[in-house]
Amino acid sequence: MYTLEPLIGSVYRLSEIDLTQIGAELEQLEDDELVVEVNAEPIDYTVAAVDSGFTLVKYLGLMVGLINVAMVLPPESSRSRFIARIINDGRSLGAVAKLEELNATHELLDDRDVVLVDGPLLTEGEGDGRLRALVNKALGTGRYVLSFTKEVRLNRVINRLLKADKPINEASLFFALLERFRLRHGSRGVLITTPVNLQGEVVGFYMQAHGGSPPVYVEATSNVIKNLGVLGTVALMMSRENYPIPLYIADKISKVSDELRRWFIMALLRVGSMSDVDPLLYRYIRDVLGYARGRNLY
């Protein structure tokens, strides 16, 4: 009979090993070299948040992705953009949705000082050109883009920061490092790990606005480091779990509900033959989805 006890035991053993490694590593690290305390006063910036949700529908031998890009503009405004894309590989839908997020972020920089994005800025694939254009626009206009990742599955910055290959969970190590810094220095403010250059003008670091909770991983345009008041502004919007509240709202709005998916499928069925799919996806289906959204399907 299958039981969970062996699995639970393995998890505990792995946790003990991880904690032992973290404790040993901490003894070799200097707080003042790896942690930056953000003392800059918050600035009255205009902020926007962007996230996307998506679903895949197979129709007449085609794979059609429905992407819902949500844009939150505090304090009172939000909107969604529905996009239908014919794709060749279902596994690429997430990358396509990310590209649409970058497109929306690029547009928002026209009238917003700071744009927050869910998930890493740096991804593999065709989004590189759009990211470069986005970074160049932010730097050229004196505006800022920051992305936030709650669950870091791969080490992002530790090897560059410590200049050594460390087979250790960086999120756990930096959590312990930031907590030790707070204890030693009596700090109650915003802390970040020393930023490292990742690619071009994109930097990466961990940010902890509130002690006692794991830090969030941030990738940002490099001009953020020259004006830490941006982080002070964002910190005012962060939950106790160290994640920006506008992004929580964008995540909720971007969800593609089952009922919305049914409306999408129904619209596809009304399209007719395969030859009619392309011209109608951007006309008829968008009209139907607009009607569906008006029925408060979220």
- Tens of pLDDT, residue by residue over 23-78, are 777 777 888 889 999 998 889 999 999 999 998 888 777 788 889 999 999 987 88
Quote the CA–CA distance of 237 and 224 in Å, as a whole number: 17
Give just the sign of the alpha carbon dihedral 151, 89, 97, 84: negative
pLDDT at residue number 129 = 87
In a domain, 106, yes or no: yes
Residue 267 lies in a domain: no
Question: What percent of the chain lies above the pLDDT cut of 70?
Answer: 81
* CATH value at residue 58: 3.30.2170
Query: What is the 3-state secondary structure of 110-154?
Result: CCCCEEEEECCCCCCCCCHHHHHHHHHHHHHHCCEEEEEECCCCC
Residue of higher predicted confidence among 40 and 115: 115
Q: Which residues is 58 bridged to in the sheet? A: 63
205 DSSP β-pair partners = 218
pLDDT for the residue 270: 66
- Binning pLDDT at 50, 70 and 90, where does residue 20 land? low
Q: Are 149 and 120 in contact (CB under 8 A)?
A: yes
Q: Is residue 13 predicted with pLDDT exceeding 50?
A: no
Give me the pLDDT at residue 46, please: 96
Contact assessment for residue 191 and residue 182, using Cβ atoms and an 8 Å cutoff: yes
Residue 261 lies in a domain: no
Looking at the domain assignment, is residue 284 inside a domain? no
Tell whether 53 is covered by a domain. Answer: yes
What range defines the domain where residue 190 resides? 33-256
Q: What is the pLDDT of residues 229-276, one digit of tens each?
A: 999 999 999 999 999 999 999 999 998 877 777 777 777 666 554 444
One-letter identity of residue 9:
G
| Closest to 49 measured CA to CA, from 130, 118, 121 | 118
All residues at 6 or more sequence positions from 58 whose CB lies less than 8 Å from its CB, including other chains: 64
- Model pTM score: 0.82
Of 148-152, 165-169, 293-297, which has the strongest mean pLDDT? 148-152
Q: Looking at residue 274, what is its pLDDT?
A: 43
Q: Which of 35-44, 117-126, 173-182, 231-240 has the lowest mean pLDDT?
A: 117-126
CB 95 within 8 A of CB 125: yes
Distance (Å) of CA 13 to CA 19, 20, 154, 242: 10, 11, 21, 28
Q: In the chain, what is the straight-line distance between the N-terminal and C-terminal CA atoms, in Å?
A: 42
Q: Tokens for 156, please give them.
A: 């992002």
* Sign of the C-alpha dihedral computed for residues 278, 279, 285 and 286 taken in this order: positive
pLDDT at 8 over 60: no
Q: E strands, 126-276, where?
A: 144-149, 190-193, 196-199, 202-208, 216-221
Q: Write down the pLDDT at residue 290.
A: 52
Share of the chain above pLDDT 90, in %: 50
Amino acid at 268: L
- Residue 26 falls inside a structural domain: no
Considering the domain boundaries, does residue 38 fall inside one?
yes
pLDDT for residue 18:
59
Identity of residue 28: Q
- Statement: residue 195 has pLDDT above 50: yes
Into how many domains does the chain fold?
1
Average pLDDT over residues 120-125: 81
Say which residue the tokens 């779990």 belong to: 241
Extract the tokens encoding 18.
């991880």
Q: What is the DSSP-derived secondary structure letter of residue 44?
A: -
Mean pLDDT (the chain) is 82
Residue 100, domain member (yes or no)? yes
